[in-house]
């Protein structure tokens, strides 16, 4: 299952170890090595290895309780791993707080989005990072930068950036949360179930937005339960099963039934190589 050649915990991001048949084993923006996480007696993650390249969308899939949220929270500085290492651009980093993650260029868009419904779009985009000019809020430049970012991301459905966020649709809210990550010049954007609460056309918009991020060279990790979304948007797939990363590789190595098999049993004979990272 997790028995990659050699010891996963001693692999370094530069050793090029990845699935055989994975063309060019992309050099990772983020590399997770041997990460474990215990909550008391519960082992939520066991010796997880994962490579996340820049310019690609990595879909993290797995059943409820598989450890998906725990893994991204370990990367985002919310949970301290019980063991293992995290490498950023080939260097080991210690991410103790969400601020540490943000300082590296890692932005996380959680399911609840952490937007303030009573504030407008510009205010949400700059929450905690307001621009000032001579001691007063620089509303004009914040408004212009917000409009520019939304237009760069082809978010065209928002009528006014002075609309309160509480009046937006689910898809628009997701777009604002992503745009906020982009405006902070993040290099890795992590999204936990971004389409879970969305209808068909809003889902299509958010999937398009996710592709746009990768095209702009960012690394993207997206957690999703919806395998249709995953196969539409992902370049790579990584499968967690009961805290173990049981398979990862280019999306072409998988199909719907092998992905379902891996999610439900942790194994699939149909995937050429089910080794991590
Ligand atoms: N804060 C926590 N305290 C105790 N157990 C937790 C906590 N967060 C997650 N777990 C446990 O860790 C396992 C993985 O959970 P989680 O990462 O939320 O899974 P997923 O996101 O894949 O559904 C589950 O068994 C869950 O009950
Ligand atoms: Mg979760």
At 2 the pLDDT is 38
pLDDT of residue 10 exceeding 50: no
CA of 65 relative to ligand 2 center, distance in Å: 7
CA of 263 relative to ligand 1 center, distance in Å: 16
pLDDT of residue 17 exceeding 50: no
* pLDDT confidence band for 18 (50 / 70 / 90): very low
Kindly list the protein residues whose Cβ atom lies closer than 6 A to any atom of ligand 1: 39, 42, 44, 62, 64-70
pTM: 0.83
* pLDDT confidence band for 20 (50 / 70 / 90): very low
- Pocket test residue of 40, 67, 225 for ligand 1, highest count of atoms within 8 A of CB: 67
pLDDT of residue 15 exceeding 80: no
* pLDDT confidence band for 261 (50 / 70 / 90): very high
> pLDDT tens digits for 139-187?
888 899 899 888 877 777 888 999 999 888 878 888 888 888 777 778 9
At 111 the pLDDT is 67
Distances (CA, A) of 172 to 71, 106, 212, 228, 251: 26, 22, 15, 21, 28
* pLDDT confidence band for 83 (50 / 70 / 90): very high
Whether 139 contacts 185, CB under 8 Å? no
At 23 the pLDDT is 37
- Whose alpha carbon is nearest atom 17 of ligand 1? 67
């Amino acid at each position: 299952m997790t028995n990659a050649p050699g010891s996963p915990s001693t692999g370094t991001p530069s050793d090029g170890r990845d699935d055989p048949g994975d063309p060019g084993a992309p050099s990772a923006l983020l590399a997770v090595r041997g990460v474990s996480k215990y909550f008391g007696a519960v082992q939520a993650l066991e010796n997880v290895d994962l490579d996340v390249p820049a310019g690609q969308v990595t879909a993290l899939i797995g059943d409820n309780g598989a450890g998906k949220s725990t893994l991204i929270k370990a990367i985002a500085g919310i949970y301290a791993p019980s063991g293992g290492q995290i490498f950023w651009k080939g260097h080991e980093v210690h991410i103790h707080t969400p601020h540490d993650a943000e300082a590296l260029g890692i932005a996380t868009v959680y399911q609840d989005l952490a937007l303030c419904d009573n504030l407008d779009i510009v205010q949400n985009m700059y929450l905690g990072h307001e621009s000032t000019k001579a001691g007063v809020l620089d509303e004009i430049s914040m408004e212009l930068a917000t409009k520019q970012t939304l237009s760069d991301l082809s978010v065209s459905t928002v009528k006014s950036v002075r609309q309160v966020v509480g009046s937006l649709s689910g898809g628009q809210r997701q777009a604002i949360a992503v745009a906020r990550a982009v405006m902070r010049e993040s290099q890795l954007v992590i999204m936990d179930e971004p389409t879970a609460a969305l209808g068909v056309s809003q889902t299509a918009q958010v999937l398009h937005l996710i592709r746009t991020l990768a095209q702009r060279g960012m690394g993207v990790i997206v957690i999703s339960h919806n395998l249709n979304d995953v196969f539409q948007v992902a370049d790579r797939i990584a499968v967690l099963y009961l805290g173990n990363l049981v398979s990862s590789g280019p999306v072409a190595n998988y199909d719907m039934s092998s992905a379902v098999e891996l999610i439900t049993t942790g194994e699939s004979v149909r995937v050429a190589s089910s080794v991590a990272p």
